[in-house]
Amino acid sequence: MNADPAALSPSTAQEMPAPDGPLSRARPGRERIMAAIRTAAVAEFSLHGLKGTSTQAIAARAGLTKPQLHYYIAGKEELYEELLMQVLHAWKVVFSFEDASDPATVLGDYIRKKLDHAFDNPEISRIFTREVLDGGRNLDRYWPNAQAWTQKKVDIINGWIARGQMRPLDARLLLMHIWAMTQSYADYAIQTRVMLGLPPDAPIDREPIARELVAFVLGGCGIGSQA
């Protein structure tokens, strides 16, 4: 997967294709086992990354023997690449700016969606974080697309600034700050619970968190807060 970004065609740099692999090609009779393999792989990769995860650990967590696992997948590298691409493709689809007319609504919705994803999918989200911490060698194919998607958001934000809908600022840094603040609830989930005084199995009331975060970002942008 370590493709040279410069070798990617312009069309490839604009659209990350939906992931294809053993998980996405599972026949109906295999779906239950593939779902178990996927769940096990997400847990192992999020904890240990690609290098630290063994197929034996994935098999054991999925309730399979190692030979049984290899009947369904060729190896951990193929499985890891597909899961990583699923994360990135989902982010591209979910975290787009669908309506660029009102910055308060667009940014508020963006923050809430990103926060919900961090709370609802912390393990699969941490696969990306673990990959970055390990040097990001499997993300060469992704970065050109990420830059293109980000540039579209930057252009929209700069348009709001030009029309006087928000104060002048660095749009790229704004997006990075939003990402960091929301991703924290996936990467530092344990810390969140400790600081809030919650036991491991207690639900987190995310609405006050979302409300404060939206108000903080919109206030910093010099625009009115969402209700």
Q: What does R_g of the chain's alpha carbons equal in angstroms?
A: 20
Q: pLDDT tens, 94-134?
A: 788 877 889 999 999 999 999 999 999 898 888 889 999 88
Compute the mean pLDDT over every residue in the chain, rounded to the nearest whole number: 85
All structural domains of the chain, each given as residue ranges with its CATH number in brackets, are: 28-73 (1.10.10.60), 90-221 (1.10.357.10)
Q: pLDDT tens, 167-211?
A: 999 999 999 999 999 999 999 999 999 999 999 889 999 999 999
**Is residue 33 a contact partner of residue 72, using CB atoms and an 8 Å limit?**
yes
User: Does the pLDDT of residue 4 top 60, yes or no?
Assistant: no
Residue 14, token pair as written in the block: 């604009």
pLDDT bucket at 23, cuts 50 / 70 / 90 = low
- The pTM score is 0.78
Q: Is 202 left (phi over 0), alpha (psi -120 to 50) or beta?
A: beta
Distance CA 154, CA 149 (A): 9
